A and B are shown apart, each in its own frame.
Chain A
Amino acid sequence: MKLSTPAAQFASLYDGTPKLIAIGACAGLEPSAVPLRLLRLVRHDGGYLLLSGDAGAAEGEALRTLAVPPAAVRVLWSCDEAAGRDAERLLGWWEEAGGPDSAPPQVTGDASTLLHGLLAQAVAEVDALHRRNAGLQRTLSTLREEWGRSARLPPEAVELLDALRLSPPRLVFATPRPVGALPVPLRHGRNPAGVGEIVQRLPAGARGLAGIDLHLDQAPKGSGVLAVALTGMETGEVIAEWTLSFAELRSGWLPLRLPVASTRMDRLLDLRIAATGVVTEAPRLSLAQAGLLDEYAVAPPARAIGQPAMLALRLWGGLPGLEYGPAEHLAPHPAAERMVWPLTKPVLSQLRKGREFEATFPWFGLLRGGRILLHPLHGVVTAALIPLDEVPGVVAVRARAVIDDPRCRTPIACKLVVASPSVTVDEAEREEGILASSGWMVLEEPRRRLDLSAALASPWSGPMALHLFTDIPDRGHGLYGRTIFSDFELEIDSRTAWANPPALPVVDGVAATP
């Protein structure tokens, strides 16, 4: 069976409007009597045409063949026996094209029979709607109850349980040190309104984002506010917005914090920065070289020592949804007191030997996954050191040590020492003039990890060196004493690490600082 319709009516056959298909010379039904669009099936050129209302197909009008039955047809109405054959053919085609049980019900008879059938159908549907609505309410209620009753741990929380010390916010990305600056455009004041803003794409997604540090090369002089908005590119929504009075700003790192680590899933984030006010000196944000990945360069474009530049920034991450500050009854606004600065592979790759020795086997090196091999050697104390550029407010350094080779039968001693760069390896081993030491710790058996922690007496800001030592306490040969150091991290005191106090996003139009 070939079924066609005028091209102008084709799309409307598949919309949600309820429809009635009348087959044959049906009469006695006022179109306004039922809230249905009336379609008529008529024979045409060896096939059938489906026409809307009383309209016919205009001469020469383009036709579209139907491959799929029309949507939302409530009933096929054939008013006499003569139309029965056409109705049967239509129903056969319907089953073939639309699949089993897809055809609408058929009514044969006069208009009152049709109305009676439609009325019965409508009543049944109202009844079904009531039942479905009740079922829906019950489903939602069950869902709410279930969510409320059970704890839902995100994968990151499992990691937290696995290593509780990971709980403070952690540094997830840092640009190199600032080497240039970019003035923040002023929206009002001496410049005309409508000037642009600074846009910086962040190399991280929103999930778990806990804070952003920007570096102010120069604090503004004048009156006004610095406005920073974190937006999700996929949605165009503002995730957080900070407004900071010029009077509060000082040069140096500016910590922008979220009250809880973000639970959002936005993958592409932009930081949009502008200022409003009257100044004698505009605020200037520091720039770092974008280096390899200049797709993260700042807009409008700027250069730092001849290279494309990005804003100098640090990103902090945590467990989504977790508050990091003290309890609400202890502080008016939450902000983490401690932050964790993990030593990433690029930092660890600066590892060097503390002392030169010859051995017939590999005893020193940086292995995959940021692990450091420092095999103890007979009769000497082996040493390695990791130089660190400027780090702010360090209060503790931590690492883990393990004997990697299960065949080892000798205890191995290891030590982590924190010192300023001017302290020699020998002085560090003797713990002279150092900042902190874990003291000698002994690994008694293979594969059992030992936490090394060196706590500083007071927060330290500036360059420093981490010294690692291994030794064989029983003066033996340390056979198979393949010792691995890993999981290096610094703990930072946020009160001394930043020149500016942490800023929290605007809530209901009011800027908040702890």
Chain B
Amino acid sequence: MHSVGTHIASGSGDAEDVRAAIVVPTYKHSGLLVEALSTALAQDTDFAYAVVVVNDGCPFPETGRVCREFAAAHPGRLHYLHKRNAGLSAARNSGIAFALDAFPALEAVYFLDSDNRIRPHLLQRMLDALRAAGPEVGWAYPDVDKFGFFEFCDMSGAYSPLEHLFRNVSEAGSMASRRLLDSGARFDEAMRQGSEDWEFWLQGLERGFHGVHVPGTGFGYRRRGESMLTESERDYRPILTHIQKRHPALFAVRAVLRAEAAVGRRYAVYLPDRAVVRCITDPALGEEDLPLADFVRRALRAPERPGYGECPGLLAVMDSGLYELLKRHRLLRGTLWVLERAAAQATLVRAEVTARMAAGGCALSWSGAPVGLQADAPFPLPDGGAAMAMLPTAVLLDLVRRQPVGIPLLERDPRKPCAEARLSLTLALPGAVQPPAGADSALSALREAMATAWSRPSNGGWAAAPIDRYRAGVATPEDVYETVHRLPSVLPLLPPAGNRRLAALVADPADAAALDTAVRMARWLAGKGYDAHLVALGGGDLFLTVEALEAFASVIPHPLPLVLPERPLTRRDAYLGTPLRPSDAVEEDRAVGTLAVFDLVVTVRHGAAHPLMGRLRALGVTGWALLGASTVPDALSLADTVNACAAFEHAYQTVVPLDARTFRLCQGLGFPPDKLRRWEDATEPDADPDWASCAPLSSCLPEPSAAA
């Protein structure tokens, strides 16, 4: 290889040959600029390249002097642009615009900040990688070898669009392809606090491009005690908020969930009777069966090497018969979600299942209790009568790696209140048979298989290798949803093909009349282009007839309380005299996570759901409240029911009184008339002329074409 660049003579004709440009923005780095430019000019390439230095109006005169001297010393190879100060993004954009105008054969632009440096093969290896990649690859990114304060960030592994939403895997010292630049991607000039590179690559992602990692480039990032990066890290939250606002389509809950399902799976369900591990996110959208040995290898690799999402973060165990039963009755997603909820409260979740055959419908009941509340004593893996179990994959991995021999002892995660969540599920379903209570022994067998594999020196020995593990580990929902949406997780529910919209009907399982209303609403919405799911939010047993069950795309139980008993009230809130129960923050997070994936959330006479709606609205969810009198004993009076909703009216787009009396109360308690709608399929004719002339509910639905 030779450097064609060094042989370029001065003159505009040489610009025709340039294939790559190194854009070096500079501002107040005059002392370090020489180092950056020297490494930029020392690239060993088999193509012609140019260096474009953009002086971003630096007030230090020596910056301009260094630039001029380098330009004079390297005519035709180094181009100098001096512009009015407008920030790093604007400087890079000026460099891009110049390179696109000046070099007609340009294939890519590499961004080198003026305090960093690069090894001599970087440009060649980066461009080779872009040339070898398919059209979907828009940029190439390196490992980040930090000097000053030494640190190495291994960015290897397949590019993960999901990981890129919460962690900037592509440093600014990356190379943008011509196709990415031609698509219009430019640095956001409003971003002057840093992380503008992250936003730039996300533009690429939004335009359908991916990145590709290039190993061994020798990109050196100067890490100082104070820098733009450290300032950016301090301002992380407002910067992330800005980026999210710039890319609502990327950061929408559904889009993130889709990315999660695309790069990996959330649940690994070990089916011991089939000796496979079934990896799923949304059970309705595909399963991946791994032989046990393959899963063990994948899991053991996770803490050693980057590969975001290759190993599911939550591990469940159940018999395949129970799995199929739940799946057949569209209860699997909800069941896994309940287990995941409980896993947020305990190191280990175990569930006993009582199943019996029922011909006339479906009965479902969850209950739970904590074990080892705030206990610190280690405890062995249980050997009891659970039919299902769940724990974070990382917990089992830690157990295997620390204690591959002998009787392993689990420890309570100090971030969680209890050691174990003991659940009980009672099912009455057509075709149900009692599942075997083999989850505990299956979990032990799985641990044993992992421990045996880990004990082989060719596997376990890698734990001592001095390799970078910055991005290694098991992917968990918290990684992304906590960062992006401030939620621990969201219900893994994606719309099936056909682009039907998703609606959640939130009803209390103890309120039979509300369930009946929910069934009728589900059927009505089905005709309007929605898949309606029942979210049974509250305590008590859920019973649905076969006909009612068929009205719903699935049933999502959200039992309250689940593991921990309901906290005693320490304070009472009231809105204009109507008592309101304050929400527990953890439970509220989980409930919002249950509903955040829907386009439309309809609360069916459900006062406890009102406080969730503000956060859901901020996440782009449309909210409707169905209001009417309840027949449940000890329920609030109708006026209090309406008044309780009035406290949260702002969070709802539409309020649907179910009768004229409720309508009048809504008006009386100050609901904006424009928000009130009459559900035309559900109300009897009434003599109240205002109620009769209330706008129909269907008028606030999107047009069918938009819904589709």
Contacts and interface: CB of A to CB of B under 8 A. Distances in A.
Interface of A: 7-12, 14-18, 64, 67-69, 71-72, 96-100, 102, 172-177, 203-205, 233-236, 265, 267-268, 288-293, 295, 307, 315, 317, 344-346, 349-353, 361-362, 365-368, 389
Nearest to A139: B31
A12 B79 CA distance: 8
A16 B75 contact: yes
Nearest to B86: A99
Nearest to B103: A11
Nearest to B465: A203
Contact of A307 (B11, B304, B458): B458
Interface string B161-172: 000000000000
B470 interface: no
B121 A236 contact: yes
Interface stretch (B253-261, B401-409, B556-564): B401-409
14 contacts: A7-B101, A10-B102, A12-B10, A14-B102, A15-B78, A98-B57, A99-B84, A176-B458, A235-B119, A265-B150, A346-B464, A352-B405, A365-B378, A366-B403
A293 B462 contact: yes
B84 A98 contact: yes
Interface string B399-435: 0011111100100000000000000000000000000
Contacts of A173: 464-466
A10 B120 contact: no
A445 to B, nearest CB: 24
B112 to A, nearest CB: 15
Contacts of A68: 54, 81-83, 94, 98
Given A176-B458, A267-B143, A292-B297, A16 B80 contact: yes
A235 B464 contact: no
A350 B101 CA distance: 65
Contact of B456 (A96, A291, A366): A291
Contacts of A233: 215-216
4 shortest A-B CB distances, which residue pairs?
A16-B71, A291-B458, A234-B218, A176-B457
Given A16-B71, A100-B57, 10 more contacts: A16-B72, A68-B54, A96-B84, A173-B466, A293-B305, A295-B305, A346-B464, A350-B455, A351-B406, A352-B405
B507 to A, nearest CB: 46
Contact of B12 (A11, A71, A368): A11
Interface residues of B, number: 73
B79 A268 contact: no
Nearest to A236: B121
Contacts of B289: none
B304 A293 contact: yes
Contacts, number: 198
B662 to A, nearest CB: 59
B631 interface: no
A288 B412 CA distance: 38
B411 to A, nearest CB: 9
B80 A72 contact: yes
B278 to A, nearest CB: 23
Contact of A71 (B76, B82, B218, B457): B82
Interface string B140-183: 00010101001010000000000000000000000000000000
A205 B152 contact: yes
Given A71-B81, A235-B218, A14 B98 contact: yes
B102 A288 contact: no
B302 to A, nearest CB: 10
A348 to B, nearest CB: 9
A17 B75 contact: yes
Contacts of B465: 173, 203-204, 293
B146 to A, nearest CB: 10
Nearest to B81: A68
B141 to A, nearest CB: 15
Given A10-B101, A289-B458, A365-B378, A67 B121 contact: no
